[in-house]
Amino acid sequence: MVAALDRKLLRNLWHMRGQVLAIALVLAAAAATFVLSTGVHSSLTATRAAYYDRNGFADVFAGMTRAPRSVVARVAAIPGAQRAQGSIIQYATLDMPGRKDPVRALLNSIREDGRDSINRVTLREGRLPEEGKPGEVIVDEAFASANDMALGDRVEALIYGVQQELTVVGIGLAPNYIYALAPGELIPDNRRFGVFWMGQKALEAATDRTDAINTLSVVLQRGASEPDVIRQIDTILAPYGGTGAYGRKDHLSHAFLDNELMQLEAMTKVIPPVFLLVAVFLVYIVLGRMIRIERTQIGLLKAFGYSDVAVGWHYLKFALVVAAIGCLLGLAAGVWMGRAMTGLYAEYYRFPFLAYRISSEAFLGAVALSLGTAALGAIGGMYRAVRLNPAVAMAPPPPPIYRAGFVSKIGHAGGFSAVGNMIVRHIARWPGRSALTVLGVALSAGLLFSTMQFMDSSRTMIDSFFLRGQAQDLTVTFVEPRNEDVIYALRQIPGVQRVEPTRGLAVRLVNGVRSKRTAVESTMAGSQLVSHIDASGKKLELPPGGLMLSRQLADELDLKAGDVVRVELLGGRQTRTGLRVASIVDEFIGSRAYANERTLELLARDASPVGSALLKVDPADRQAIIARLKDMPLLLGISERDASVRLFESMIEDNLFTMLFFYITFASVIAVGVVYNSARILFAERAHELATLRVLGYYHSEVAIVLAGELALLIVAAILPGCLIGYSLAQLMTEMFSSDLFRLPFAPSRASYGWSIVIVLAAAIGTVLLVVRRVTRLDMVAVLKARD
Amino acid sequence: MPIDGGIAFRCAGLRKTYRSGETEVHALRSVDLSVRQGESLVLLGPSGSGKSTMLNIIGGLDRPTEGTLHYQDIELTGLSDHDLTRFRRRHIGFIFQFYNLIPSLTAEENVNLVTDIAEAPMPAIEALDLVGLADRRHHYPAQLSGGEQQRVAVARAIAKQPAVLLCDEPTGALDSATGVRVLQTLDRANRELGTTLLIITHNAGIAAMADRVLHFLDGQISQEVVNQTRIRPDELTW
């Protein structure tokens, strides 16, 4: 048996279904984004943790030129180290049948007996390489599927200057290559770069490292001090050309995933609150209006003996039911979007399993947020309902009182028509509600703008990093630093127009307690292929002495131009030098340091060997040049700038377009929700006046202007605050989304402002038209019979 | 008597049936009526007798279920919604029991609502002067008494110099002295401007100011009385 008051509640909900749905959709958007981001976050975190645990992902990593395998036992014996594993990693160039583009593999050694305890490979298919069968390899799953490789396939590889045939015996993946990048790249290119695992003995033989290793991984004991262990590893590895041990936070794959998790967390903090704020406003104005209309009924209920609490609870329940509807819709949409987004992640991050799962915290959080928001919005209305004196309530409410004021003076001065005056005075009579409408539409435009700004941001990044910063067509990296001869050799290849050497040194930069592992890179003086572009678009020259730091790195180390930073060379002579920070460049990608060739020579205390070379080539000879390069011994890899740009652009399209689609929908939901509710309330309040105008002989279109005019003014008034909110929100979001790896430029384009305004206006105007159509259905007789 | 003899309204077999839930309400059952131009009529009758429905149909606010209605030579029953609006705009002035003023507009601006769209209106201030409210033209409805508000409504109705004034209980919410003032204004419009005047009232005392009195009962005209002499509103008693 449903109580009479509950039956009234159900009828109210049904009667106001349009408004109820509009609020529920805004709440749904909040719940959806919350569930989406927290769900994807927890799915990724849980999956990563399980994967790391199951496959023994290391805590500390170290590289060296070459060390005897016996060093592993010494490292394992360091207090705090639980176990250590030494292996060989080696880049190889692959000659894929029918392919002209450069394809690279990173060969990792794996124990043939399967007794690796760290960074273990999960086999999807096949088996481990067998001892005594040198060409057998396991290929990583993403590379295999991108290149249609199957068990038994063979591929020619140039390893350490020697051509060798490899046979695929297994397909698998490992936790240290969740995000697998070729050197110098930012986005995984599964077609052109793959991780391979080769039997330990076979790789030792292929790289002339019998019983030797060039990389080390360590799992720490619980509670061990990572910096202490790193310090001791560095000491042990110093004689072997150790390039400095580092923890997970500097591990590329781990750091990229961390970056992604951080962005998801930022999204949770910024986006749902915008929706929740709008939902509070909507509940507040809709319930406020409902209580004004039901004034007499409230009086009657109280006169019949319903308590204040019962009446208050009745209206709170209305808000809670709306919240429950919104929450359910939001949960469903959030799970659906979460699945789509997880699918996208699976394309870039290689997990053995990755399923979107909504945690109970995310679920309960969404429910609590929706209900809490609705309750917050309902407080004002409830308070009024509770406070209403039954005797006063049963008398009709006093009509709205208008008095001559500022707005009417404007109307006189502007020569407004009577209808024009009706519009502006109504806005001024309900300033709070008008302001909430403006704010709601502005938030919608702002949210959309802040999302669209990401497109601009990414384009600026591509433009600055690839198009303006790099003029080379190809980058050639060598297995080991070479002397100048290699530059001359490259220049001799027909079609090569320009060759510039570059060099990088692995260093640790230290400023007080802050330190950062990075590379100091140098290009030749007067380089025509590399430019350092400032945030303002200005080209910066390398300083004559000292370092140029990227803004990211300078901020991380708390350095400014003129400060001195300690530079510890990792590997080589392991020098420690103080260098002045000569300038800071506002770059967007990576924490990087630059110096001229002379400064690098001083640091390394050697003449300037070449680590890689940048090539500008004649497009007509491009393929022939790549073919020649692939045959050069001791070549680590060739990367093509255009391919990197394409990859970057396709990632932006994949991710941002999906995101944009969601956010255009969300922003429209806010605009529609706010405008629809305002319009319905306005219509209800002015029905009497509109009917009067119809009686006086005003046509439908003329009457509609009263309604549409007020809403149009409010919507137009929202454009400027919308841009301001968007500007601040976008700035906040680029700030929050920036990490060690990327710093998103804040570079909004006029088109983004334009599009966000156009989309929000379209949603708002569509909604206004929907409500204004009701004017044609106004029953003049019925309205005029009732006294307001 | 300023009746020029032409026919303003002519209706035949007018019926209006409302559906209220599962029951049918016969608001009008076959009404035949002619109203001459410049004539003044009072419609009397108990609640639900059909007089308001009759007035609404004549004024183009509602449509009959059956029958024909002509205004001069225009057949109103066949007009579209848009044309009915134009008809009201050109020819009809309405006055209601509850004034129906726009609270956000001053007295003068409420009159402007009509003068803005009428073809040959008198100036708003002149209309307000006719009802004795010229000095209160900048006041908002909330700053006016009930009687003053109704006089603004009258000024609004007569400002466009309509051919027809339709008044539904114009004095229903007023005390007798104020009511008389309003009726005087209506009477003046009828006598001096030749406006056809139809007044609905519960108050039989008002009937004496009209040329003709129609008694409504159960959706029909039960009785029609022609007054041989019209009494001025200030001589009315109720």
Residues A175-198: what's their mean pLDDT? 88
Residue A578 lies in a domain: yes
Instruction: Calculate Rg over the CA atoms of chain B.
Output: 17
Q: Could you tell me the pLDDT band of residue A396, with boundaries at 50, 70 and 90?
A: low
Residue B72 lies in a domain: no
Q: Within a domain: residue A14?
A: no
Instruction: Determine how many CB atoms are found less than 10 A away from the CB of residue B104.
Output: 26
Alpha carbon of A380: minimum distance to chain B alpha carbons (Å) = 26
Mutating which of A695, A777, A788 best tests the B interface, going by the most B Cβ atoms within 10 A? A695
Percentage, residues of chain A above pLDDT 70:
97
Question: Do A402 and B82 count as a contact with CB atoms less than 8 A apart?
Answer: no
Better-scored residue on pLDDT, A690 or A741: A690
Question: For the CA atoms of A108, A114, A120, A125, what is the dihedral angle to 10 degrees?
Answer: 90
Residue A452 phi, psi dihedral angles, 5° rounding: -65, -30
Residue A575 reports pLDDT greater than 50: yes
Is residue B132, in this structure, part of any structural domain at all? yes
- For residue A611, tell me if it sits in a domain: yes
- Which strand (E) or helix (H) includes residue A694? helix A641-695
For residues A50-78, give the mean pLDDT.
94
Distance (Å) of CA A549 to CA A244, A585, A644, A784, B220:
20, 6, 24, 75, 97
Write down the pLDDT at residue A306: 87
Q: B95: domain CATH number?
A: 3.40.50.300
Q: What is the mean pLDDT of chain A?
A: 87
Tell me whether residue B70 is in a domain: no
Residue A465, domain member (yes or no): no
CB contact under 8 A, B109 and A418: yes
- Indicate the residue of B61, B82, B102 with minimum beta-carbon distance to A699: B82
Kindly list the residues of chain B whose beta carbon comes within 8 Å of any beta carbon in chain A.
Answer: 56, 59, 61-62, 81-82, 85-86, 88-90, 92, 94, 96, 98, 100, 102-106, 109-110, 112-114, 116-118, 138, 140-143, 156
Q: Determine contact, residues A533/A587, Cβ cutoff 8 Å.
A: yes
Which of A285-299, A543-557, A652-666, B107-121 bottoms out in mean pLDDT, i.e. has the lowest? Answer: A652-666
Name the range with the highest mean pLDDT among A18-27, A520-529, B4-13: A18-27
- Report the pLDDT averaged over residues A202-215: 93
Whether residues A418 and B62 touch (CB distance < 8 A) is answered with no
pLDDT band of residue A786 (cuts 50, 70, 90) is low
Is A403 close to B56, i.e. CB distance below 8 A?
no
Closest B-chain CA to A428? B104
For residue A415, tell me if it sits in a domain. Answer: no
CB pair distance less than 8 Å for B82 and A784: no
Find the residue in A nearest to B84 (Cα).
Answer: A697
Which range of A341-355, A392-406, B72-86 scores highest in mean pLDDT? It is B72-86
Q: Which residue of B has its CA nearest to A701?
A: B82
Give the model confidence (pLDDT) of A424-444 as tens digits: 999 988 888 899 899 989 988
Whole domain around residue A71: which residue ranges? Answer: 55-91+104-129+169-255
Q: In chain B, what residues touch A688 (CB-CB under 8 Å)?
A: 100
- Residue A77 domain-assigned (yes or no): yes
Q: Do B102 and A426 touch (CB under 8 A)?
A: no
CA–CA distance, B205 with B213 (Å, rounded to integer): 11
Residue A547 has φ and ψ, to the nearest 5°, of: -110, 150
Say if residue A37's pLDDT is above 50: yes
**Mean pLDDT value of segment A653-680:** 82
Q: Which two tokens stand for residue A210?
A: 């019998």
Cα A459–chain centre separation? 15
**H-type alpha helices, A77-148:** 141-146
Longest CA–CA separation in chain B, Å: 52
Question: Is residue B74 situated within a structural domain?
Answer: no
Choose the final residue of a domain: A213, A233, A255: A255
pLDDT band at A460 (very low <50, low <70, confident <90, very high): confident
Pairing of strands A514-523, A593-594: parallel
Give phi and psi for B45, each to the nearest 5. Answer: 150, 160
pLDDT exceeds cutoff 50 at B142: yes
- Gap from B229 CA to chain A (nearest CA, Å): 33
Contact B140 A698 (CB under 8 A): no
Q: Is A428 on the interface with B (CB under 8 A)?
A: no
Query: Is there a contact between B140 and A404 if contact means CB atoms under 8 Å apart?
Result: yes
Measured between beta carbons, the chain B residues lying within 8 angstroms of A693 are 113
Opening angle at CA A582, ends A577 and A584, nearest 5: 115
Spatial separation of the C-alpha atoms in residues B207 and B214, rounded to whole Å? 9
Closest by Cβ to A696, choosing from B104, B106, B113: B113
Determine which of A696, A702, A710 to mutate to test the interface with B (most B C-beta atoms within 10 Å).
Answer: A696
Cα separation, B119 vs A519, in Å, equals 84
Q: What are A226-246's pLDDT values in tens digits?
A: 999 999 999 999 899 888 899
Of the three residues A590, A617, A647, the one that is the final residue of a domain is: A647
- Residue at B173 is within a domain: yes
pLDDT tens string A96-141: 888 877 888 999 999 999 899 999 999 999 999 999 888 999 999 9
Q: How many domains does chain B have?
A: 1
Chains A, B: CB contacts within 8 A come to 91
Q: Does residue B19 form part of some domain? A: no
Chain A CB contacts of B86 under 8 Å are 697, 699
Q: What single-letter amino acid sits at A665?
A: T
Choose the closest CB to A697 out of B89, B142, B143.
B89
The predicted model gives A38-63 an average pLDDT of 92
Mean pLDDT of A178-193: 84
Residue A633 pLDDT greater than 70, yes or no: no
Q: Do A417 and B81 touch (CB under 8 A)?
A: no
Q: How many CB atoms lie within 10 A of CB A541?
A: 13
Find chain B residues with C-beta within 8 A of A419's C-beta.
Answer: 113, 116
Of A599-613, B58-72, B164-178, give the range with the top mean pLDDT: B58-72
Split into its structural domains, chain A has a count of 2
Whether residue A455 has pLDDT greater than 60: yes
Residue numbers of the domain that contains B104: 38-61+90-235
The fraction of chain B above a pLDDT of 90, given in percent, is 57
Task: Please report, rounded to a whole number, the percentage of residues in chain A having pLDDT higher than 90.
Answer: 35
**pLDDT at residue A629, as a whole number:** 84
Q: Is residue B32 part of a domain?
A: no
| CB atoms B85 and A399 under 8 Å | no
Residue A788 has pLDDT above 80, yes or no: no
| Residue A1 scores a pLDDT above 60 | no
What's the rounded Cα separation, in Å, for the pair A724 and A406? 27
pLDDT at A657: 73
Average pLDDT over residues A490-516: 90
Q: Using an 8 Å Cβ cutoff, are A72 and A111 in contact?
A: no
Residues of A in contact with B103 (CB under 8 A): 399-402, 689
Mean pLDDT of chain B: 89
Assigned domain for B83 exists = no
Average pLDDT (B197-213) is 91
Query: Average pLDDT in the A602-612 region?
Result: 79
Residue B4's pLDDT is 54
Interface test with A, best of B53, B61, B100 (most A CBs within 10 A): B100
Among A589, A613, A647, residue at a domain's last position: A647
pLDDT band at residue A517 using 50, 70 and 90 as cut-offs:
confident
Rounded to an integer, what distance in angstroms lies between the CA atom of residue A231 and that of residue A214? 18
Distance of alpha carbon A641 from alpha carbon A616, whole angstroms: 11
Residue range A449-473: mean pLDDT, rounded? 82
Structure tokens at A729: 């929100």
* pLDDT of res. B1: 43
> Could you tell me which residues come within 8 angstroms of residue B78 by beta carbon, excluding any fewer than 6 positions away?
none
Among the partner-chain residues B62, B100, B113, the one whose CB lies closest to the CB of A418 is B113
Residue A184 has pLDDT above 80, yes or no: no
Q: How confident is the model at residue B2 (pLDDT cuts 50, 70, 90)?
A: very low
Contact at CB, B103 and A419, closer than 8 angstroms: no
| ∠ Cα A10 A11 A12 (to 5°) | 90
Residues of A in contact with B94 (CB under 8 A): 695-696
- The CA distance from B227 to the nearest CA of chain A, in Å, is 30
| B86 burial type by CB count under 10 A (0-12 exposed, 13-18 middle, 19+ buried) | middle
**What ipTM score was computed for the predicted complex, to two decimals?**
0.90
